[in-house]
A = this chain, B = another copy of it.
Amino acid sequence: MSDFRAELGDIPVDDHPRIVQQRSRDHYWYSPVLKAKLDHVTAEIVVSPRSNDEVKTVLAAAYKHGVAITPRGAGTGNYGQAMPLAGGAMLNLMNMDKVLDIKSDRVRAQAGAVMEQIDNQTKAAVGGELRFHPSTYRMASIGGFIAGGSGGVGSVRWGGLRNLGSILGLKVITCEAEPRELDLEGEDILKVAHAYGTNGIIVEAEMPLTASYDWVDMVVGFDDFMEAARFGREVAAQDSLLVKEVSVYAAPIPEAYFNRHKPYLKDGQSVVLLMVAPVALAAMSLFISHHKGDLRYRSDTASAEELKRLPPVYELAWNHTTLRALKVDPTITYLQTRYPSLEHLEKMTSMLGDELPMHIEVTRQDGNVTLSGLPLLRYTTEARLDEIVALHEANGCDVFNPHRYTLEEGGMKRTDQKQLDFKRQADPTGRLNPGKMIAWENPDFDFKAGKAWLFNGLNPVGPA
């Protein structure tokens, strides 16, 4: 490690144990399973380059001296993406936060630029904004979102990050004797998007912009959860009703966990959260009353004092829901699911009841309005968690397991050959984020056997 440090020149480095420990954490602790496995994990130092050249210097040194590198944005991921399983160095990219170029329909920024900051600049310059962002919009970096995210607020209209056209270009730096800058476009983007930084360090991203709006937050109550879900699905199917967020929460989630909004809620109601374009407000009000929705709150008529006190609804949504529940009840965790129809959703909610308080994010996938689930889970044991996953699968509902820290187990449950091939070129010695790509570590792993994979480095006293 000292040989590695000696090559870094004046690149900022931090080895204060508390800082390093802090920067060695993402939001893996939403999962009790990941918490048990990863709590002891830490890097040795944090390196914070300020330019592409400095990133190259770091990666050349890591290659030369065999130091593991775990890239990190704001550390807001939930799957242990940014947990340094093999120790080594955290590569903090938040000093590389410049917006490089704004055009009428696209923006190019450094990886560490915070998404809200990007939008502030593009709104001012061209009246445009990013198509989607995670609920951690005010903290998360664009590079981290691309490396570890899949969609979010805006997915109800624009689909997912991995869809063709959602990312226009990426610049990545390889980990070799002489690190290269590679500009990826078109389908090459999928080689490194959502690869957790295992096969190249994303240093710049070019993203499409869409027209920006002063989105209006709405909270709509329904006495029955399935009425709320039906309404949510219907809203998203109205092509003419411009929305950026539609999500559905079964009682008692709202009253129990949406603390600041509590004065606006009615106990026992399930709730739909909306972000609505001003141009769609009149039509939306009508649509809500047609569906006998109970409009509990709308930000366009709120007082300045209310607006100051209340978080935007996107900070109740996506994994902020889980975060807010965890703050109240530390035994809670969550699942990621997909319900093929309202009937599937109804079956699973009636089967699991309050053990799985339901949270639906309505999205578009391949042109279809889709019920993506982020249900809370009143956690008891890992065995029961696995049972609930199996129950979903037995009933034709997909589960994307957020209690796994590898790319494959949380995602498609198979090797992504393009990502693996690219890692062979861009990180031939496996320095980058070790332990996250099973295909690299153990090409023979049997995804169908149903056992979680354990990275050797996590078990230093003996083989897994």
**Chain A residues engaging chain B, CB cutoff 8 angstroms:** 104-106, 126-128, 131, 157-160, 163-166, 168, 185-187, 208-211, 213, 236-242, 277-280, 282-287, 364-369
Contacts and interface: CB of A to CB of B under 8 A. Distances in A.
A279 B282 CA distance: 31
5 contacts: A164-B286, A165-B284, A236-B367, A238-B366, A239-B364
A239 B157 contact: yes
B106 A279 contact: yes
Q: Which residue, of A163, A209, A240, has the highest number of chain B Cβ atoms within 10 A?
A: A240
A168 B279 contact: yes
A367 B366 contact: no
Contacts of A283: 164-165, 186
Contact of A186 (B164, B209, B282, B367): B282
Number of identical protomers: 2
B368 A165 contact: no
Contacts of A280: 165, 208
A107 to B, nearest CB: 11
B104 A185 contact: no
A279 B186 contact: no
Contacts of A366: 237-239
A159 B240 contact: yes
Contacts of A164: 238, 240-241, 283, 286-287
A189 to B, nearest CB: 9
A242 to B, nearest CB: 7
Contacts of A237: 366-368
B211 A166 contact: no
Contacts of A166: 240
Contacts of A213: 105
Contacts of A209: 279
A164 B280 CA distance: 9
B277 A105 contact: yes
Contacts of A158: 239-240
Contacts of A185: 282
A126 B239 CA distance: 23
Contact of A105 (B128, B168, B208, B278): B278
Given A131-B240, A159-B238, 12 more contacts: A105-B211, A105-B213, A105-B279, A127-B127, A158-B239, A163-B241, A165-B242, A208-B242, A210-B211, A237-B366, A238-B366, A238-B367
Given A165-B241, A238-B367, A208 B279 contact: yes
